[in-house]
Amino acid sequence: MQINEVDINQAFEKIKRLANGKFLKQEYGSSLAHIESAAIHAYNFNIVYTDPDLEEMIEKISSKLFEQVSNRSNTGRILFYDSFGWENRGLTQQYIRALIKLGYSFLYVFENKHSKYSATIEAELRAFPSQVEVFEMDIEMPLIARGQDLYQRILEYNPDKGLLHLSPGCSMALSVFHAFPNIEWININLTDHAFWLGSKLFHKNIEFRDYGYSISLRKRFFKHEQLARLPYYPIMEPSPFEGFPERAMLKDKVIVFSGGSFYKVYGDNGLFFTILDQLLVENPEIVLLFAGSGDPAVFKMFIDAKGYQERVLLLGHRKDINELFTKCDIYLGTYPLSGGLMSQYAAVNGKPILAYTSDDLPANYVEEVVCHNRNFKITYTDLREFFDYAKRLVRDPQFREGEGSKLRQVVISPEQFAEELDEILKYSESHRRMKEIRINYERFSQLYLEIENQFTNAAKNYLISRYRLRAIILFPKFSILCVKNQIRKRTCILRNSFLLRNKKWV
């Protein structure tokens, strides 16, 4: 028994009905909470990309809670709303640095003061008191009270434009923004591959690649003129090198680095591990270092089963990613889900990129997130060509150095980023051309279903943590499978021991 698309859609519709029921009872805070839950559920599976019912409900709740402000101001000020506040993740630093550099006055709104944004971001904002105001929201307040605080702060600040760096289920903030049709709302499309709320509100959507542009055009129903392209660059903050594991035998080895959330290498019948095994067999000089977060159980099972304890080293979560790149020779992209930011780190550090994808997963083309200033072929769709390229990189240091050097200048620079953001803010358009690409939506959603069913419990765990005991009644199949998967995980540990004894990977 597995979760399928019908189950996902039924759960989605059930949560929507809960939201509408609370709306009809005028319990608007509860309604917004259910809307957020529906959005997070949809985000986990990439089957739908927007929902008109949820968008309309948010707008109706806004009209019940807040007085509309229709007069357009000319203050030149910007509201920057941030759901994340992460250092070296997301796009907070890229945008606030550009706004500061360009001389814009802006109000930085942080969604959750209790999780606290990074000290680096806070210091940057506080360093410009005449230009930047900071408003931290209290997530421990009731949802409606939080919304009223935000509404009042926007009234006081009176911005012309809103730059929104939102989590996919940001229902409360969106209900407030709907009360200000006088403000031009600009969305930073951070999670362009998945569902998010807000498509009915946004006047402009900033895309960082053609993949997101294509989805926004066909699945979120934006018009071409509502979409602008602005790629991003990686934040290169110095961080103390945390070292390598004591057992690492790296002398005279070619160090291949890879990393990201572990779920990115699970799926498509374990093809990443088949690829990795072949790379190690064909290139005995290689040692692989993998920095990742999440559940490493499957990865560890592969290492033990193949006896790669000295050639494949899991580093865990690392803050010194840039320092790791300076000490490696080659970057290996993840599959079946690639990592854009890691590929950018490789490029700006002059490290060649080994990347493979099946040709029906265009979201994985590294070129879209790396080659902003010049085109290079990076991603291979033929495995034999991929392995031949890998062999040449490993065995020819001069070729390896040359391939890496070509990538140093292809990523957009901070100066270019600021100039192009200014273009969007002033003229509501970008000079970068966008083209629609073909996307196999069914293939992509089935991949996420496979990862959920075979490797993670993320979506099931979310529903159970959100609805607790009610989840058994509301989502019985999700609840049963969550328990079964926990049992299966324990079985996998026993299976791991068997594989270790027999030295084979299946």
pLDDT tens sequence across 368-396: 999 999 999 999 999 999 999 999 999 99
**Chain position carrying tokens 């550009």:** 98
pLDDT tens sequence across 118-167: 788 888 999 999 999 999 999 889 999 999 999 999 999 999 999 999 99
Mean pLDDT of the chain: 92
- pLDDT above 50 (res 505): no
pLDDT of residue 37: 98
pLDDT of residue 488: 62
Under a CB-based contact definition with an 8 Å cutoff, are residues 322 and 351 in contact? no
pLDDT of residue 357: 97
pLDDT of residue 34: 98
pLDDT of residue 455: 84
Task: Give backbone dihedrals phi and psi of 344, rounded to 5 degrees, phi first.
Answer: -65, -40
Closest by CA position to 34, among listed 145, 150, 143, 148: 143
- pLDDT above 80 (res 464): yes
- What share of the chain has pLDDT > 90, as a percent? 81
- pLDDT above 50 (res 500): no
Residue 427 burial (CB count, 10 A)? 10
Structural fold of domain 59-233+415-427: Rossmann fold (3.40.50)
> Is the pLDDT higher at 23 or at 490?
23
pLDDT of residue 116: 67
For range 467-472, the mean pLDDT: 93
pLDDT of residue 398: 98
For range 245-261, the mean pLDDT: 89
In the sheet where 312-314 sits, what is the strand order? 312-314, 286-293, 254-261, 330-332, 353-356, 379-380
- pLDDT above 70 (res 497): no
Cα 66 to Cα 325: distance, rounded to the nearest angstrom: 49
End-to-end CA distance of the chain: 22
pLDDT of residue 172: 98
pLDDT tens sequence across 115-128: 766 788 888 999 99
Distances from the Cα of 12 to the Cα of 37, 54, 174, 474, 482, angstroms: 9, 11, 20, 11, 18
pLDDT tens sequence across 44-63: 999 999 999 999 999 999 99
> Is the pLDDT higher at 275 or at 454?
275
Range with lowest mean pLDDT among 326-340, 396-410, 468-482 = 468-482
> Is the pLDDT higher at 503 or at 274?
274
Range with lowest mean pLDDT among 236-250, 279-293, 456-470 = 236-250
- pLDDT above 90 (res 212): yes
CATH 2.40.50.150 fits 254-411, yes or no: no
Under a CB-based contact definition with an 8 Å cutoff, are residues 95 and 199 in contact? no
pLDDT of residue 339: 85
Residue 190 burial (CB count, 10 A)? 22
pLDDT of residue 496: 43
For range 299-325, the mean pLDDT: 93
pTM score? 0.93
Same-fold call for 59-233+415-427 versus 254-411: yes
pLDDT of residue 74: 87
- pLDDT above 90 (res 247): no
pLDDT of residue 506: 35
pLDDT of residue 489: 55
Two structure tokens written together for 255? 């160090």
pLDDT of residue 432: 95
pLDDT of residue 503: 40
- pLDDT above 90 (res 112): no
The H-or-E segment that residue 256 falls in is strand 254-261
- What share of the chain has pLDDT > 70, as a percent? 95
pLDDT of residue 351: 98
pLDDT of residue 493: 39
Name the residue ranges covered by the structural domains of the chain: 5-54+440-502, 59-233+415-427, 254-411
Range with lowest mean pLDDT among 78-82, 156-160, 489-493 = 489-493
For range 326-347, the mean pLDDT: 95
